[in-house]
Chains A and B, each alone.
Chain A
Amino acid sequence: MTTIRTFMTDDHRHCDDLFAETEQAMAKNDFALAAASFSGFCTALLAHFDVEEKTLFPAFETKTGMSGGPTQVMRMEHLQMRGLLEDAKEALRTTNSEDYLGVAETLVIMMQQHNMKEENILYPMCDQHLAAESAVLIEQIEKELPAA
């Protein structure tokens, strides 16, 4: 059975794949290709944030009454990553590869440590507390995410 953890973890990996494509393009110094694939990555990542902030987290918060806890921290990290995405776009727009590498480096670690907290702590908590409604919830999330 699909759990919230496996479903959302798969979407993390999907975002990683798109991020890696941009890096490959940057390694070839192909800014146009990099910018195009980065925009695909942004769309996927922002959709992932949105679905968490608008659907998954509220469901969790309503059920557990925990609104100042882990979801709060995750929202704050989303905000920080949104800032990094803007910085990276700007670096790609001005074809500044040094800035892009610096931002990408920061973004990778930020993203991975964030994913780790979600995958190992928050999603299992969601599965535990939202067991009854998880099938419906996953279906709804699936609808909200753009087709991969």
Chain B
Amino acid sequence: MIAFENAPPFAAPLRFFLTAPLFAVLAGLLVLFEGPDLFASRWMPATLAATHLITIGFMLQVMLGALIQIMPVVAGANLGHPLRVARILHAGLTLGCLLLSAGFYFSRPSLLIGAAWILGGALAVFLVAGARALIGVASTSPTIRGIKLALFGLFGLALLGVGMAFGIAGGWPLPFAGLTDLHAAWGLGAWGGILLAAVAYVVVPMFQLTPGYPAWSGWWFPPSVLGLALLWSLAVGIDAVILGRLAQAGLALAGMAFGIQTFRLQRQRRRARADVTYRYWQIGLGATLLALLQLLIVAIWPGAAELPGWSLAFGVLLVAGGYVSFIVGMLYKIIPFLAWMHLQNQGMAKVAAPNMNKLLPDLDMQRQLKAWGLTLLLLLAAIGWPDWLARPAGLALAASSGWLWLNLYGATRRYRHFGRDIDEKLAALP
């Protein structure tokens, strides 16, 4: 029997969603504190630290928290003990990310090794639990297959990340520049890109009432991206430069095709209002397409990567402009909806739950969205004028992320308040 209604308790995903913005605040404070030096190159200790505060502390936190929530619902894949897995994973990601960033920032090998053990261990727990849950599930939809392939991507990402942390700490003679690019390809492509697409196949039509993604694209995109990431890895392994550039170009084109398709579907949406989630996705798609254009240009003309600010612009566009925007856009729907659903169940059809806007007011989200737009512009401009704009960009990142936290925390606070209210009303019923 397919597990039909096995949504995990709210506490399982919520801890991830409420921790994530705090890491983005920390990244902002680091930029504010370090100032222009952070924008000197992608290899600066503070830059590596800030990057991982966002990619692990923000992105990976939310992605894994969301997976714990959606795997039973969209794939019928039940993690044996969702709350226990959530606790271990959340603690591991939080501590591991802090150690890793501190290890980069203070150039302390012991911290990097500690972080590698903790992050590797936490991800291993999740991957084993996830694989066990998915093993008997047939890939009847592009989303289910996408999630399976994304977990493989996460495995590759973790393997490379842990290996490099040990390598840096131990001073192993590894080709770090090439490996870093490959690590990013697994993280932002084979893991992040595939997961984003797998989720988008469900949520883009659901949130905006758009037509569905065509079946061929849903079946082809995830395996193509994974195949290209494997090809890139092979190219790094056997030192085949042209093959690596081909894989890079392929990834850029596949990502652009997915992005353009999503743009077109969203333009056909049947919801009348351009809501905050829609705006966040439009920003995300625009930034992602620009970043992927950069990737394509570098595949054709590798010299472009040496242009001042090129790599930093790619990172800001894809990670902050793309992924963070997509994620926040989704959080703004998922958190109030889950809160409503849990309140609805709590009321047992006798006491009504307040609608989503009463849990997270639209105006709060609209204002935070503007702050995020300004943050992105400042981060991009700071690459060109670090002396003037690095610190304001850091301040904006901290402030807009703090605002996000306030909005999400406010929703959970109201959720608890309404929950008590419902309990009282239920008790008063004859």
Interface residues, chain A, CB within 8 Å of chain B?
16-17, 19-20, 23-24, 26-27, 66, 69-70, 73, 76, 79-80, 83-84, 87, 98-99, 101-103, 105-106, 108-110, 112-113, 116-117, 120-121, 125
Contacts and interface: CB of A to CB of B under 8 A. Distances in A.
A27 B272 contact: yes
By Cβ-Cβ distance, the 3 closest A-B pairs, closest first, are A102-B357, A27-B272, A102-B355
Interface stretch (B52-60, B95-103, B201-209, B237-245): B201-209
B355 A87 contact: yes
Nearest to B341: A110
Nearest to A98: B357
Interface of B: 1-2, 4-5, 73-74, 76, 140-141, 202, 205-207, 209, 270-273, 275, 333, 337, 340-341, 344, 349, 352, 355-358, 362
A27 B275 CA distance: 12
B61 to A, nearest CB: 23
27 contacts: A16-B209, A20-B209, A26-B272, A27-B272, A70-B2, A73-B4, A73-B5, A76-B349, A80-B349, A99-B355, A101-B273, A101-B357, A102-B355, A102-B356, A102-B357, A103-B355, A105-B275, A105-B355, A105-B357, A106-B356, A108-B207, A108-B271, A109-B206, A109-B356, A110-B337, A112-B209, A121-B4
Nearest to B271: A23
Contacts of A102: 355-358, 362
Contacts, number: 79
Contacts of A117: 4
Q: Tell which of B5, B140, B202, B352 has the most Cβ of chain A within 10 Å.
A: B5
Given A26-B272, A112-B207, 14 more contacts: A17-B270, A69-B4, A73-B5, A79-B349, A84-B355, A101-B362, A103-B355, A105-B275, A105-B355, A106-B337, A108-B271, A109-B207, A109-B356, A110-B337
Contacts of B74: 116
A20 to B, nearest CB: 4
Contacts of A80: 344, 349
Contacts of A76: 349
Contacts of B209: 16, 19-20, 108, 112
Contacts of A66: 1
